[in-house]
Structure 1
Amino acid sequence: MADTMTGGCFCGAKRYTATVADDDAYLCHCRMCQRISGNVSLAFKGMKQADVCWQTSPDYFESSPIARRGHCATCGTTLTFEFPDSDTMDLTVASSDEPARFVPRHNYAVESWHEAWLDVRDLPAMRSDENPNVVERWMKACGKLPD
């Protein structure tokens, strides 16, 4: 059954509404995704382009001879991966207003994954509100912690 999701960039300049058929997503480990995001992988939700409605269109970067990436030129958020000759696209899971709804179903471009980063469950964990340096800075600046 189709459902609606919303999302956008960090600063709010680029917003979208999309119709999704399921909550399946995937992780891309290719070097281009690593470099564009500054991270070890990028989580994506595959979509039909016609199912995504932008309030303000993303800025685009031709990241290779075969693909482009949508982003916000103001805050830098990576939003999409697209082949110009396709009717499908990928939205970044983290740009969704509810990223926890999505479930990773497969890995892509595993030739460049960083195995040490695949399962970090057993590493020590700390909540951001347990870091006194961060809490003090937020309280000084805003009088509260961010949502």
Structure 2
Amino acid sequence: MMAAMTGGCQCGRIRYSAEIASDEAYLCHCRMCQRATGGVSIAFVNLPKAAVAWEREPDWYHSSPIARRPFCARCGSPLGFEYPDSDKCDLTVGSFDDPSRFRPTSHFGAESMHEAWIDTRDLPRYRSDQHDALTERWMKAVGKLPD
């Protein structure tokens, strides 16, 4: 089902709207994505470039001779990936205002996958709002917890 969705960077300087046709997303584990995000993988939604409207043009990092990545130079948020000669692009799932629609359907860059990070369902879980030191810092700084 086609839906208009919005997203952007952490500081709000770069915003976008996108026409999303599917809830399918994928995890990329390639070394370039690991280095670009500092994570063991990144979740992407693939869509036509024509389906994305940037309210403000993102900053671009030419991460290789064949690809570039949109990001915010002020806060550093990674926003996606694209091959300039393709009509498709990827947006980071985490940059959507409500990423809950998406579900992972595949892995890419499996040669660099760190298996220990794939199935973490049995690890203990801790809520941010129940971490006293963190809560105290937020309350002292701004008087409320972040959204």
Which TM bucket (shorter chain)?
A: over 0.9
What is the TM-score normalised by the length of structure 1?
Answer: 0.98
Determine the structure 1 residue equivalent to 2:66: 66
1:29 maps to amino acid:
H
Q: Which runs of 5 or more structure 2 residues have no equivalent in the other structure?
A: none
Distance in 2 (alpha carbons) for counterparts of 1:59 and 1:139: 33
Q: Distance in 1 between matches of 2:112 and 2:14?
A: 30
TM-score by length of 2: 0.98
In structure 1, what is the Cα distance between the partners aligned to 2:143 and 2:79? 31
In the alignment, is residue 10 of structure 1 matched against residue 10 of structure 2? yes
1:143 offset after TM fit, Å? Answer: 1.5
Unaligned runs of 5+ in 1: none
RMSD: 0.7
Equivalence map 1:41-120=2 (5 Å)? 41-120=41-120
Structure 2 distance, partners of 1:88, 1:81, is 10
Indicate the residue corresponding to 2:39 in structure 1.
39
Q: Distance in 2 between matches of 1:140 and 1:117?
A: 34
Q: Which runs of 4+ in 1 moved over 6 A?
A: none
CA–CA distance in structure 2, aligned partners of residues 129 and 6 of structure 1: 26
> How much has 1:101 moved relative to structure 2?
1.0
Deviations 1:9-63 (A, max 9, x none): 0011100001011110000000010010010101000010001000001110110
- What is the rounded CA distance, in whole Å, between the counterparts of 2:144 and 2:97 in structure 1? 21
Aligned to 2:145, what secondary structure does the other structure show? coil
SS of the aligned residue for 1:35 comes to helix
